[in-house]
Structure formats: C-alpha cells, structure tokens
Structure 1
Amino acid sequence: MTPASYYFTLDKPTLTNSGSDKVSLTVTVLNGLNNPMSGVPVSVSPDTGVYTPLATSTGADGSVSGAVSIGSDKTNRNINATITVNGVAKVVTIPVVGSQISVTPVPATPAPGALVTLNIKAGDALGTGIATQITLSGVAGLSSTSITTDISGNATATFTAPAATGSYTVTAQGLGVSSSKIVQVVVAGAGAIANATGPVSAASLSSNVAEVDFNTSGSSVNRAALTAKFLTTGSTPIANMRVRFELVAPTLGNGEVISTGDAIVYTNASGEAIADYIPGTRSSPVNGVTVRACYALTDAAIAGGACPSSVITTLTVKGRPLDISIGDDNLLSKGLGNISYIRLLLVQIVDSASQPVPGVQVSVSADITHFGKGSYVDGSGTYQVTGDVPPTIANTYTNTFSTTAMSSLVGGRVWCLNEDINRNGSKDVGEDINANGLLEPKKSEIAISFESGNKTDANGQLLLRVTYPQNVATWIAYTVKVTAGVEGSEGRTEKAYITNALEGDVENGSFRTPPYGYNRCIDPN
C-alpha cells in the first residue's frame, strides 16, 4: 500500500545554541485509511546543522524519529529541514536562538578627545564565549570596524571620543544578532548620564562559571563573565546604576585583573552591568577569589573609590599543576615517656611557575612496606642498615622478593614484605606468611599526623609528624604519601624512610632486640 500522507512534530519550538541542545523531530506516515504504516523510508535533510536519525524507516507505530542539533555553527538563524516521504517533500523550520553580544565602553562617560576602549563579548545561550567575526559601526575613528573575538568570545576596539559632547551609539553585529551601546561624551563633572532611580529591591552579582582556568604569562584568553543585576519595586530593572567591579583582598596577584579596571560601568535597560574577571598565572583554593560589585544611584556616591553598597561572588581559578616535595633533616626527638621517636617532615607545594601555593588542603598516609629480621649488628659489630631505603626494596615491584633468605651475622638481616598485602587490616588467605597467627608488622607501629594543620601556609608549606616506638627503630621501612589539590588540579608524591634511632640510644636501645625475629620471612621467629 502506498503512503497517503504524513505529518511531523517537534518536542520544542526552538533550539538553543549551547551546543548540547537538541530538538526531537518525529515523522508519522499514514495510509489511505489514516492507519500508521511501517517500513516506509523517510529522509530528512537540514540546510544547516545536523540531523541524526534513530532509524531510516518507520516502525510499527508508523513513526520514525531523529534529533536536530546546531552542529558547529552557533549563529542565530533558522534551520530548514526538508522531509521527504514517497517523493513528497515538506519543510520544517527550527529557529536557533541564544546568541548574545555585549558592548562595554571604558570609560562610559569620556571627555571630548579621550580614548575609549570598547570591550566586546560574544556568547551563546549559556554565556560561553564564541570565537566569531563582529562588525562595529556608529562612531567615527574606530580602530577597526571588523574584529574577531577569541575562543572566550572577547575582543576590544578603540576610538577617540568626538570633540562635541553628546550621545553616540556604538553597534556590534554578529552571530545573527546586534547590540548597541550609548556612549555619553561629557565635560568633566557635567553628569550627563541621568541618575538611577531606586529603591533597590534586589541586587546580585553572578559569574557565568564557578571555575576558570589560569592564564599563561601574557595571555588573557581565560575569563569569567561577571554580571551585576539590579531591580526595583515590581522586579523592574534599574538602568544607569553606577557599578565598579573590584577584587577583594587577599588577591592572587600574578596578573589577575577586572576587564573594566577601576572604571564606573552603567547598567543597561535590563538593569545589568558586565565585566570580566581575568585570572593571572596562579591558581586558587576552592572559592579562593572574591569579586565585589560596588554600586550607587549617583556618580557622587561612588566617586573616589567609595563603596556605599556592594554584592559579591566567589570563583575558583583552576588548572594550575601542583608539584609536591617532602623534605627532611637528620633530627629525631623523643615523644611520650621517652619511649617513642618523632620525626618531622616538611611538605612544600608549588605551581608550575615554582610559586608557593597557599591554602591547599593536604591528605597524608604512611604505608609500611617492609619489616626486618635478623641481628641488629653484623659479625663485626656494625649496624647493618644505612640510609632511608631497604637494600632490597626494588624487589617489591618485581614480585621476586625472597621469603626463604636467611639472615646471618655475615650476610646481614633480611627484609620481609608487609604481610597485609591488600592493606585491609584483616588476615586474609595467604597473607600470614610466617604462620604465627598475626599480620606483621602492625599498622599501629607507625603514626602520621599534621604538626601545623592540614593546609599549606603562605609559603606553601606545612609540617608532618611521624611517630613510632623505640623498639621498632631500624626494623621498619615505610613510605609517606602526600596528595594535595585545588579544584581541577592535583599533585601526588611519596618518599621512603626507615625508622631511624637516636645515636644516644645505640648502645642500649630496645631496638637492639629484633622485634620480628631472627630467621627467614616464612618463619614465625
């Protein structure tokens, strides 16, 4: 039977240009009795964008569906998709919306002959920057009438304010939309822009992203778009609100700036003032950047750096690789009851520019890798172990560690692997190598803690405390592991040690008696 008719439906009328948005298109084919027909080929050909079919012919219910997306073009436009069934074509039009262009003049009220910088930003429905061509018009002397925004959607142009005072309109066109901004050329102190009208019933400052990547030296590509919005009674936008964006101390430094500097920005008809936070070359802790928008209804109220009212938002500068080092000295001290030893370790964290990273939260652990058996000294009366690494630690990673080697006064002590192979603290099958009914060594032989809190100080440093009883000194090999991170960046390092003893205890210290026995790793003593 030949198809008699078909119809199509969309799950929504428009398609935003965020890149991830899709419109579901469903085509239903009917026969002469208005019953659905299966197995009928259906083709859909959009003039722009992408159509992804779920099938190429109708199913048992007579329908076939697919998704229409924008592809790589974020321009506001109409996507015209031609549907063809049995030689009969129909066109469905799907509008693409969401492009936005903003123009921010700095200064907003230049004096005649002053240089004006136009900050242009192009974005999609989510405020994500778009690299595109923008055409500028409206004033004479523009440094360029055609500019290209970078991957963050930003570009700048300049012009010299006309000699005559008055209102001049700058228009930016691109992405299928246009945006205009009035630049008031005034004589200093003339107050050409009308005061804003309050009262302010709602004020907010937001960023289009919670996290932004750091910039490399000399770059300003990575940015966070800031929007200060003001409403009065009845949720009516307040135009001409005077706004100054500021970084709140302590700042990161290293080149971070607000795109509008310390200039006053005036809200538009939507009650919004915009600027960009531009990170420098340094990352931050989570929510480690605070931006403030100072605002007032009049120029006088906000002049001279005054901040009569403000709203804030926080950001995280992420992506700066962290590098961690563990440092030590040759000093030990005694702990509780003079029975334990204490060793302090220094953790230092820097970024890829070797700059200290303060306020980073650190996680630490100590893993006992080996324990020793045999005599404290060899046949000549010499202490057998030197340095911070067991002589056979490399065998740990080749699975060839000997469990049958025998200690001797000539050959020295032997090193045995931690019997708790999976480190779960439970005696599992095959783990009690020496068959003494216990897992050796005990986790509690080594304790590690923070000496000065778990966050790095202003110099990117903190101290760790390692504690162990005197009787296991020289008999345990352990690895200190440090993990640290800010949002989006993490560093790890580890360093191996042996539980050293104080020189003053060498003659009669309790560690002279082997705590784990004299014989092979597979022997209970």
Structure 2
Amino acid sequence: MTFFSKYARFIRTATIGAFVAGTLAACGGGGGNAGTPANGGGGGTTPTTVADLSVVLDRSTVSNSGADTVKVTVTAVDANRAAVGNVPVTFGVDSNAVITPGGTKTDATTGQVTATVSIGADRTNRTITLTVATGSIVKKTTFDVVDSVTGGKVADLSLVLGSASIVNDGSQTGKLTVTSLDANRTAIGGSPVVFAVQDPAGTAFVTAGGVTDASTGQLIATVAIGANHTSRTITITASSGSVSRTVGVNIVPPVTTTPTANDMTLVLDKISIGNTGSDRVTATVTAVDSQRNVVPGIIVAFKVDNGATVAVLNATTNAQGQAVATVTSGADRSNRLITVTATSDTLVRTATFQVTGAKVQGTAVPTLPVAGSTGNRVEFRVSDVNQNPMTFQAITVTAPGLPPASGATDANGAFVYTYTAPTTAGPIDITAVSGGVSGVVTVTVPSSSSTVPPAAAVVVSASLSASPTVVSVNTDVTNNRAELRAIFLAANNAPVKNVRVRFDLNGDVNSIGGTISAGTQLVYSDTNGNAVSNYSPGNRASPTSGVTIRACWDYNDFAAGTCPNAVLTTLTVVSDPLSVSIGTNEEIDVTNPLTYKKKFVILVVDAAGQPKGDVQITPSLDLIGYFKGHWDPVGTVFKQFYDLDTLGNSFPWSLTAPAMCQAEDLNKNGAIDSNEDRNGNGQLDPRKSDASISMSGSTRTDASGQAVLVLEYPRSVAGWVAFSINASAFGVLSPPAVYSGVLPYPGAIVNQVTIDPAFRYSPYGLIRKSTDGAFCTNAN
C-alpha cells in the first residue's frame, strides 16, 4: 500500500469514526472508554488527556475574488491547557468552501495541526462555518466572504420599480428601491450603491443617496427622463462593490383614447411570389374616417393562412393612417393561394396572392421499356423557382394500368418510381403530383413496328448544366448528387423533343469516379427540350472544376461509345478542407493597460473555396529575433532610432536598417546551451515569454470556416521583437499558414510627444555593433 493510500485510508477512518461518535452523542448514545489516553487506541470517545480544542483563524474575512485563503491552527489541550500531541482531528466546512488539512492528527511536540480553507468556485459573499472535531469534542467558528471592492458582505441587490414605465411628457418621475442583501437574503445597511444609466437619448438620470439605510438596508432613487420626450427603453444598473443588478424602464406616451376607423383598405404590392421562402409580399392597410381622411393610431391585426408567415412592421396606423406587414410563404414551398386578412374592430378586409415556382420533372430509364420487363425506373425531381431541390415533399405517382406509389422526396428533392412494364405495347403517361403541381413522363412499350420518332427540328442551341456545381463526396450513408440537364432548342427558342442523349464523365481524366443515374442508356428530351440525369460522386474529392460531364447527342439512336455531337459542363467534388490562411486587420486592442493584443483570423476552405467548419486549429508562435534602439520626439511625433556604434551616433530606424538580431535560442528548447547567449547577459533574447498566442473562443473553425487567434505581449516590447505565427489545421492538405512581422503598436501613441511610449527604449539595448553579423554580441 502506498503512503498516499495509507494516508487516505487513515483520514477516511478518522472521519467516519468522528461522524459515528458525533451521531451517537447527539442521540444520547455512545459509550467509549473515557480513560483512553491521547495516543491510545479504540473507541469513538475523546482521549482522556484531551479536554479542549483551540481553533485559531489567521483572518476573519476573505475577499470574494478567490485569491485569499484562511489558515486554521488547531491545538489540542488537556485540562491544564497543556498541548497534547498525536490527537486525531477532523475538519469540515460548509457553504461550498474547500478545506485542505495539513494532517490528520496534532503534532507530537506542539500539539498542533493546521488546515487551509479557500472559498471554492462560489464567489458570493457569505459566512462560512468551520467545524473541527476530535472524538466528542466539536468546535465551530466562522469567517466571512466579503466584496473584493468594498469589503462589504453584500451578496445581492434587490431592485424594485415603483412602475415599469414612465410617461414621456415629462410630468412623471420613476421610483427605484434598492435593497442590499447578504448571503441569507437578509437586508444589510450601510452598503455603498452607485448607479449607471444607459439611455439611447442620453438625457435620463438617477438621483439618490450614497448608501443603503442602516436599519432597512434600502436606498430609494428617483429616475427622471430628462429633456428628451421620445418613447424608448432605458436601463439602470445599480452596483455595490462587485455586485451589479440591472432593471429596464419603458418611456411611453400618455394613455389616450383609441380612435376608430370608418373604413380601411388592404393592398398587396405583389399578386404572386416565387416559392423560395425568401420572397415577400408587403401588405398595407390604410384606415380612414367617414370623410375619407386618414386616421392614425388605429390598431390593426394581420392574419395569413396556408402555412404562410406574417411579420407586422407597425400594428398601429402611422401618421399616414397606414399599418404595414410583410408576408412570406414560410417553410411550405408548394404552389398555392395565400389569403391575408386584416382586422380592426369590426372592419375585416382580405386579399390573396399566388405562390408559384414548384416544378415536377422526371426522367425515365429506359424510355422504351421491354414488354413485361421489371426494374424500370422513373426518377422525379421536385424543385423550386430557383431549381433548388424541394426536400421531403409529399409526392404521389399514378399511371394507367400500373400500381400507384406515394412517399416523400429525399434530400435531393428526388423520388424514384419503379415499375414492371405491361405486356401490351403502347405509350404510358406516368404522373407525379407534389408541391401543388404535377409532372408527366411518357414511356412507350414498343411493338415490333413502333419506335420513338427522331427529333424533327434542327437543334440550333445545345447546352448542359449541373446543379449544384459543387457537390460533396459520398459515404455509406449519404446520397449527394448533382442534377445534369441538357437543353435543346430550335429556331426562335422552340424546344426540340426526342433528342437522344447519353451522359458520361468524358474520360474522367482526374480519376474522380462517380456514377450517372442513366448509366449508358439513352435519355430522350421531353416536350420542353430537356434531357435530365444525375451524377453521384464517389469518395474522392476533385480539384476545382475537376469533374467534366459530357452529354453526347443526336437526332436518332446511336451506339454506346460513339459521340456524334457533345456539350460539356464541369463541377467540383469536395471533401476534406484544402487550404488554411491567416490574416489580420489594422486594429490593436489596448483594453489591458499593461499589454497589447493583436487578433488574427484563420480561414479554412475546401477545393471549391467554400468555408469548412469544425476544423481543429493548432497555432504556434516563434520569436525569431529582436532589435535595439530608442524613440525620440521629433517635432510633434516620436520617431524610432538606433545606435550603430559606440560614439552615440543615432540613425533613423527601418526594417532594413538596423539589421535584426537573430534569436539566441537556436534549438528552441528554452535552455542556455553552448554558444547561445551571444550578448552575454545571462539569458536568451528575446525571451520566449515576451509574447503569447492563444485561441479566442473555440479552437475549431465556425460555420464560416473562421477561427480567431490572439497575440498578446507587454507594451514595453512592442516594435522591438520579430515574430512568426504558424497555424496548422487538422486534415488540411496545404502547408500551415504563416504570418511574420514585428510586434505592432498603436499609431496614436507615437503621433504625439506628451507621453512617453512604454516601448520608448528597447529592452534589449540601444547599440548594435557595426561588426556584428546575424547575432548581437553586446547587451548594451
């Protein structure tokens, strides 16, 4: 058993023994041997030689900052108040404090044992009770956790408004009652309270005394709105030391009689919108009286149906007598009518608009199914006005003589209908209904004499597109794909039907792979001149525009492997993040009076240039050198100089002159190795701790592919240390991003001469020997 295990076991045994003895004593039980000496064994009773425990704290209060601790000294004494050694002692604290005993029994010589108490993670002001016990002797004492600013015991402030609002005509003031409370929520007086007001108009103010009442713990403040009579919300913050509480007060118009309208009109700015969900219709209600004069102050309620959403811009008519709301189609992207209803008292007006743009298109593979053949497919795709897939839309497919099917479109807006071809020759219209529209695909079961007629018109325009042009790789559980659409037009943009199209990867020169849903089957253009298929990538990513799709076409059927005519398009298959970059802006954070902070943004993208989120970023910082010199006032500004020799001659400083002194820690191990302390000052310059690098917030990129680094350094080294930041991203194929420079300083501090910059003199010396090479050999 290790020493630690024995020690832990001893504490545990002593604690349990003390607990049992205390419990029995409280219940009137017990019965240990009262004559056992201090270092004897047995029983849960107090050794006969121990008559009392003396508990002494080194302080009666600690700051709620968490930086302070209380030292507890316990002395076991006999009836003659002589110290007794080897007495087992247990400790306990309440109120979320933490105690660390210095031992489990008193010292054999001094009869003492110590412990350290910290306030733990709880930063509230409160009273902490310490319990010390040996056998049946239990001693308690307390100390207070007080405010780190005022030294008071205020744990909370209760803010009660006389009214939640103040009339904005200047006739009223508000009453705010502040009560200072301790950790037990008991009012305590004599606590200093200060107020701060946040007012958009900048005129509101608070009048109050400086401390809470000694008996009631209350302080009554008066809130006035000042000269600005606009309606707004002001925020009042009351603070006592480190405890702050905030309350809001609404500045509102006086209550007036609500007017009524004799009539109102409802006008929509559009009669139809696309089904993207982002298009809006503005609904304007105008209220008038019996003389057709506009009436302000009329309350209007708006309502919409069929899954639409309404955002009311102003529910009360303005000076022009108008109330306005905007309406969108909501999450439902089906084609439909939406009715807007406006109501004011007994007046009701309605108006309707149309949502359009949903389309159902299908591709049959094959177009000419063999009679009685199985596994024939028609893939329907439901899309919105912008050709974006309408996912998880209900869809129903019917065809004469074939069984119906219903379900929902997938994540690509697609639904596949599989059927067995009838044995009777002839055309079959397969109809899909989804999103309030229908689409029809005609397949023909050929007879011995029937064929699909050739394309009749001359194609003057053939094009091929992929949507989207960037698609992710597939895994075992994904089905990412891009729609391929070839369009054939004759003169006057007339669509050409029955153009034969066969899609392929044009040789797949980058070996990206993937499949085309139509395979090697011919696809026939429909009545709109469209021939449609889909490309599904494999598990390999491509370069930008690294996948080429070819659509071979002709007016009649043509053999696989031949390509009478062709149109091409490209797309990009993305997977892992590809590149990481680092950059910054012109700002320097001067919030901390001792340091400067410079922020850098890390950006990670994939092969298509799209941001990659949730990528782990690992930064590192290297201080590659330092400079010597000083700043002197020249006219109205400070300028940087350097001394190149021992004669006191100064020269203007630049990045090319003087030369940088190379960092002395050549192997980056932080230790002074042979031939490293070149300037002989007993340390390695620049010190590794002269600057630090950290992540701001998460160590992973956000949804925009960004993460933020913070470079922090003492103000005294700004302008004198050269640095290099290296930021690597897990899984990124390109090298890490690198940013190099000299620790920057705010321009404002050198564009004046009344205050010396903290970095006026280089901490690494003023003089660089003209004979020095890459390393500086003097410490002056």
Determine if contact 1:372/1:416 at 8 Å carries over to the other structure. Answer: no
Which residue number in structure 1 is paired with residue 440 of structure 2? Answer: 180
Which residue of the other structure, out of 351, 359, 370, is the alignment partner of 2:624? 370
Call closer, same or farther: CA 1:191–1:219 in 2, change over 3 Å: farther
Percent identity over paired residues: 29
Q: CA separation in 1, counterparts of 2:551 and 2:462?
A: 10
Which residue of the other structure, out of 77, 85, 89, is the alignment partner of 2:348? 89
Which residue number in structure 2 is paired with residue 155 of structure 1? Answer: 415
Alignment of 1:375-414 (within 5 A): 389-392=667-670, 414=685
Which residue of the other structure, out of 389, 394, 402, is the alignment partner of 1:133? 394
SS of 2:333's equivalent in the other structure is coil
Alignment of 1:68-87 (within 5 A): 68-87=327-346
Cα deviation 1:62-86 (Å, max 9, x = unaligned): 1121111111111211112221123
Q: Which amino acid aligns with 2:427?
A: S
* Aligned residue pairs, count: 395
SS of 1:237's equivalent in the other structure is coil
Which residue number in structure 2 is paired with residue 124 of structure 1? Answer: 384
Q: Which amino acid aligns with 1:136?
A: V
Determine if contact 1:371/1:416 at 8 Å carries over to the other structure. Answer: no
Which residue of the other structure, out of 303, 308, 317, is the alignment partner of 2:559? 303
Which residue number in structure 1 is paired with residue 283 of structure 2? Answer: 25
| Offset, 1:90 | 2.0
| Offset, 1:413 | 5.6
Alignment of 1:202-221 (within 5 A): 202-220=461-479
Which residue number in structure 2 is paired with residue 332 of structure 1? Answer: none
Cα deviation 1:145-167 (Å, max 9, x = unaligned): 11321122112121111112211
Determine if contact 1:369/1:418 at 8 Å carries over to the other structure. Answer: no
Q: Which amino acid aligns with 2:577?
A: P
Which residue number in structure 2 is paired with residue 169 of structure 1? Answer: 429
Is 133-142 or 101-110 further displaced after alignment?
A: 133-142
Determine if contact 1:419/1:432 at 8 Å carries over to the other structure. Answer: no
Q: CA separation in 2, counterparts of 1:210 and 1:116?
A: 28
Q: CA separation in 2, counterparts of 1:387 and 1:216?
A: 48
Report whether the alignment pairs 1:279 with 2:537: yes
Which residue number in structure 2 is paired with residue 468 of structure 1? Answer: none
Which residue of the other structure, out of 521, 536, 539, is the alignment partner of 1:263? 521
Q: CA separation in 1, counterparts of 2:608 and 2:281?
A: 47
Call closer, same or farther: CA 1:200–1:78 in 2, change over 3 Å: same
TM-score, length-scaled by structure 2: 0.45
Q: CA separation in 1, counterparts of 2:509 and 2:266?
A: 56
SS of 1:28's equivalent in the other structure is strand
Cα deviation 1:219-276 (Å, max 9, x = unaligned): 21x2222221111112111111111122123355565222222211111111111112
Q: CA separation in 2, counterparts of 1:32 and 1:358?
A: 63
Q: CA separation in 1, counterparts of 2:678 and 2:665?
A: 19
Alignment of 1:289-368 (within 5 A): 289-299=547-557, 302-322=558-578
Which residue number in structure 1 is paired with residue 324 of structure 2? Answer: 65
Call closer, same or farther: CA 1:406–1:63 in 2, change over 3 Å: same
Report whether the alignment pairs 1:53 with 2:312: yes
Determine if contact 2:665/2:684 at 8 Å carries over to the other structure. Answer: no
Q: CA separation in 1, counterparts of 2:400 and 2:733?
A: 49
Call closer, same or farther: CA 1:173–1:36 in 2, change over 3 Å: same
Q: CA separation in 2, counterparts of 1:214 and 1:19?
A: 28
Q: Which amino acid aligns with 1:116?
A: N
SS of 2:559's equivalent in the other structure is helix
| Offset, 1:46 | 0.7
Q: CA separation in 2, counterparts of 1:194 and 1:263?
A: 17
| Offset, 1:370 | 1.9
Determine if contact 1:116/1:160 at 8 Å carries over to the other structure. Answer: yes
Call closer, same or farther: CA 1:77–1:358 in 2, change over 3 Å: closer
Call closer, same or farther: CA 1:249–1:420 in 2, change over 3 Å: farther
Call closer, same or farther: CA 1:251–1:261 in 2, change over 3 Å: farther
Q: Which amino acid aligns with 1:392?
A: G
Which residue of the other structure, out of 289, 295, 305, is the alignment partner of 1:37? 295
Determine if contact 2:544/2:571 at 8 Å carries over to the other structure. Answer: yes
Determine if contact 1:24/1:67 at 8 Å carries over to the other structure. Answer: yes
Q: CA separation in 1, counterparts of 2:281 and 2:666?
A: 63
Determine if contact 2:279/2:328 at 8 Å carries over to the other structure. Answer: yes
Q: CA separation in 1, counterparts of 2:679 and 2:265?
A: 91
Q: CA separation in 2, counterparts of 1:64 and 1:276?
A: 48
| Offset, 1:412 | 8.1
Q: Which amino acid aligns with 1:73?
A: D
Determine if contact 2:664/2:685 at 8 Å carries over to the other structure. Answer: no
Determine if contact 2:664/2:677 at 8 Å carries over to the other structure. Answer: no
Q: Which amino acid aligns with 1:137?
A: T
Q: CA separation in 1, counterparts of 2:507 and 2:515?
A: 13
| Offset, 1:284 | 2.1
SS of 2:422's equivalent in the other structure is coil
Alignment of 1:226-237 (within 5 A): 226-237=484-495
Report whether the alignment pairs 1:101 with 2:360: yes
Rg larger for: 2
SS of 2:407's equivalent in the other structure is strand
| Offset, 1:293 | 1.4
Which residue number in structure 2 is paired with residue 341 of structure 1? Answer: none
Determine if contact 1:241/1:296 at 8 Å carries over to the other structure. Answer: yes
Q: Which amino acid aligns with 1:128?
A: N
Q: CA separation in 2, counterparts of 1:314 and 1:494?
A: 30
Call closer, same or farther: CA 1:8–1:264 in 2, change over 3 Å: same
Call closer, same or farther: CA 1:52–1:431 in 2, change over 3 Å: closer
Q: Which amino acid aligns with 2:543?
A: P
Which residue number in structure 2 is paired with residue 448 of structure 1? Answer: none
SS of 2:296's equivalent in the other structure is coil
Call closer, same or farther: CA 1:187–1:304 in 2, change over 3 Å: farther
Q: Which amino acid aligns with 2:777?
A: Y
| Offset, 1:6 | 1.5
Q: CA separation in 2, counterparts of 1:244 and 1:387?
A: 66
TM-score, length-scaled by structure 1: 0.66
Call closer, same or farther: CA 1:29–1:432 in 2, change over 3 Å: closer
Cα deviation 1:138-193 (Å, max 9, x = unaligned): 15455x611321122112121111112211111111211111111111258x5611
| Offset, 1:218 | 4.7
SS of 1:145's equivalent in the other structure is strand
> Which consecutive residues of structure 2, in runs of 5 or more, have no partner in the other structure?
1-258, 581-604, 610-619, 628-662, 694-714, 740-771
| Offset, 1:56 | 0.5
Alignment of 1:105-116 (within 5 A): 105-114=364-373, 115-116=375-376
Call closer, same or farther: CA 1:15–1:24 in 2, change over 3 Å: same
Cα deviation 1:342-391 (Å, max 9, x = unaligned): xxxxxxxxx99xxxx999xxxxxx99732499xxxxxxxxxxx9998512
Report whether the alignment pairs 1:192 with 2:451: yes
